[in-house]
Amino acid sequence: MENDRPVVGVDLGGTKILSAVVRADGAILARAKLPTEASGGLEHVIDRIAQSVFDAVREARLSPADVPAMAVGSPGPLDPHKGIILEAPNLGWKNVPLGAELEKRTGIKTFVENDVDMGTLGEFVFGAAKGADSVLGVFVGTGIGGGIIIHGKLLRGAAGVAGEIGHIVVKRNGAACNCGGRGCMEAYAGRWAVARYIHKAVRKGRRSSVARVVKGDHVNLTSGTLRSAWRADDKLVRKALTRACKYLGAGIGSVVNLLSPEVVVIGGGVFEALGKELLPITVKHIRRNAMEASLRNVRIVLAALGDDANVLGASVAARQRLCE
Amino acid sequence: MENDRPVVGVDLGGTKILSAVVRADGAILARAKLPTEASGGLEHVIDRIAQSVFDAVREARLSPADVPAMAVGSPGPLDPHKGIILEAPNLGWKNVPLGAELEKRTGIKTFVENDVDMGTLGEFVFGAAKGADSVLGVFVGTGIGGGIIIHGKLLRGAAGVAGEIGHIVVKRNGAACNCGGRGCMEAYAGRWAVARYIHKAVRKGRRSSVARVVKGDHVNLTSGTLRSAWRADDKLVRKALTRACKYLGAGIGSVVNLLSPEVVVIGGGVFEALGKELLPITVKHIRRNAMEASLRNVRIVLAALGDDANVLGASVAARQRLCE
């Protein structure tokens, strides 16, 4: 059967492209990883994606003709129905018909999806939220992305951009956000916001082992650096991350009230690095902000699939959309 | 066919019970309204509900045996699967098996649902959100309730309590809310919160035509009183309601980002009284808080069914659940 054949899932990031050939049961037959080389421009990056797909397919001892479909998890906003990336700021893209371009290059039917949606779908089908009917995925990295499963189905929303939990307002008229708004959860709890907070404190004379890292460009503060500083008991880093968890608690608690999901999965770079430390603090603050009835029925867990979540989710999307 | 026979929808409120006999096409064949008389106690109120159902059925020239099912929209939290009201503070109820009790009294198969969910379902099937695939319903009265339609289906959530948009946090650590939390949207924009705000301002010496009404008990400030004061250009009332709309904008804007719904329906007593005045202000603040991509695809409209929304929605639920 068509649907039993392996498909390809692609995770398109600003720095790397990960492609995987995946069986229906979630077994990864082969992987390929390439630097994105975003500075090389649009055509170059699309060629790189095609190359990584070819690499993975060859590694699995298949040919592209054996693969009925692939899906690319891409930063958004994007139009999943038309396969168009509307905007990908970290790639410098606007209105790119990625699906059509990749079909031209690979001959493989290509679907385009939001990367965080794919992470949520991966955790839902193969990971920490397996078997649930409703899932909220929250991925805390530089920014904060989210994905939602309702009635066992990914919520794309009328605009194809549902799940933007990073931009729910947890403090009206609060801190400035990258989206142009104010008081978004991301503006307090995304890694860039944590770096901004540390940077401001350092400028006021607070000490920190990451003082030099946050100076100038906030993006240099990696999750690994945060982990080392936390574990070395860097007081300012601990304070900044604890504060981030408070805002995560307010935002996630709100959504628990709103959607009453069976499972909340929290992942992304920051929680991959410091999940054990940050999850209990976050859960405490979710409990403060959500109501008893919603809390009684929700499990709050760490993501389980790490870097593979997006390609696994993309393989599920490719398979599902092929049958629609 | 079973499903073409008229069913009964009931709206159970703290002060009145409204029952209606409704055809599959949404035509209301008969209505009956009774005061709830909550002070009479549990058994009395359940008898009153049964009475109002009998009244409506008789008015429609039917007998209870002609009615295959009914659904009661009740304040929550409740368990729609078991038909149990977990808690209804305005009725003084805890763990009441309302479904079973009404079946005993009426002989009619009875389902129990959240009242605001029923309002949303009514607007979705017969009202302002007809034909949409995803709907966010926001009902602003004394408190703020919400309902969510996703993939054409009411979202009940794992706890059966989904849709609690009144209790999403729009200001972390902000104003105290009736739910025990802080900074909830309801604590700024529910009618009780508007009354609290006016009351505090009056105590500080501000003048208002409603000064005497908000003194002591906040619940006496009705939506009709607010409308009269707004239209008489009462500066404090206008300021309080404009402020409420700002917080509604933050909360609803957040949920537009999260769910990217096709339609947002805003109703409830406050918007039934002052919808024309308050909707444009609310929309302005939703636009400030939601992202372009989500906004491009959403319609924000006033509820269209008024007092009938809940009984109409309940009739839809009764029909759907009968066939499950």
Do B136 and B95 meet the contact criterion of CB atoms below 8 Å apart? Answer: no
Look-up of token digits 């700002």? B246
Please determine, for residue B215, whether its predicted confidence score (pLDDT) is greater than 80.
no
CA distance B32 to B246: 38
Q: Do A289 and B181 touch (CB under 8 A)?
A: yes
Q: Going by C-beta distance under 8 Å and a sequence separation of 6 or more, which residues neighbour residue B240?
A: B194, B197, B198, B201
- Is there a contact between A159 and B289 if contact means CB atoms under 8 Å apart? no
A169 CB-near residues (< 8 Å, 6+ apart): A181, A182, A183, A184, A185, B170, B250, B251, B253, B254, B289
| pLDDT at residue B323 greater than cutoff 90 | no
Angstrom distance (rounded) from CA A66 to CA B180:
58
Cα separation, A234 vs A226, whole angstroms: 9
Nearest CB neighbour to A162, from listed B164, B165, B259? B259
What is the pTM for the complete model shown?
0.92
| CA distance, residue B63 to nearest chain A CA (Å) | 37
For residues B75-81, give the mean pLDDT. Answer: 87
Mutate to test the interface with B, among A133, A149, A168 (most CBs of B within 10 A): A168
Give the separation between CA A308 and CA B135, rounded to whole angstroms.
33
Of A150, A161, A167, the CB nearest to B150: A150
Average confidence score pLDDT of chain B:
94
User: Is the N-terminal amide bond of A77 cis, ω within 30° of 0?
Assistant: yes
Per-residue pLDDT, B219: 65
Strand B93-96, strand A28-35: pairing: unpaired
Q: How confident is the model at residue B2 (pLDDT cuts 50, 70, 90)?
A: low
Cβ neighbours of B145 in A, within 8 Å: none
- Residues A254-283 have pLDDT tens digits of 999 999 999 999 999 999 999 999 999 999
Question: What would the mean pLDDT of A233-242 be, rounded to a whole number?
Answer: 98
Query: Is B172 in contact with A170 (Cβ distance < 8 A)?
Result: yes
Report percent pLDDT > 90 for chain B.
Answer: 84
Interchain proximity B161–A258, CB inside 8 Å: no
Which of B258, B296, B297, B298 is best to mutate for the A interface (most A CBs within 10 A)? B258
* pLDDT of residue A217 exceeding 80: no
Half-sphere exposure of A297 (CA within 13 A, CB side): 21
A26 dihedral zone (left: phi>0; alpha: psi -120 to 50; beta): left
Q: Which residues on chain A are in Cβ contact (under 8 Å) with B144? A: none
Alpha-carbon distance of B137 to B129, in angstroms, equals 9
Q: In whole angstroms, give the CA distance from residue A49 to residue A35.
A: 10
Is the Cβ pair B148, A296 closer than 8 Å? no
pLDDT at B312 over 80: yes
CB-nearest partner of A158 from B134, B155, B253: B134
Which residues of chain B does A251 touch, with a Cβ-Cβ cutoff of 8 Å? 169
Tokens found for residue A246:
């408070």
Asked whether the beta carbons of residue B168 and residue A254 sit closer than 8 angstroms, the reply is: yes
How many beta-carbon pairs under 8 angstroms link A with B? 160
Chain B residue closest in CA terms to A246: B172
Nearest to A158 among B169, B257, B298 (CB): B298
Mean pLDDT value of segment B14-33: 96
Nearest CA distance, A308 vs chain B (angstrom): 24
- Which one of A258, A295, A300 would you mutate to disrupt binding with B, by most B Cβ within 10 Å of its Cβ? A258
Find, in chain A, the residue whose alpha carbon is nearest to that of B255: A168
Interface test mutation site (partner B, options A148, A259, A263, A296, max chain B beta carbons within 10 A): A259
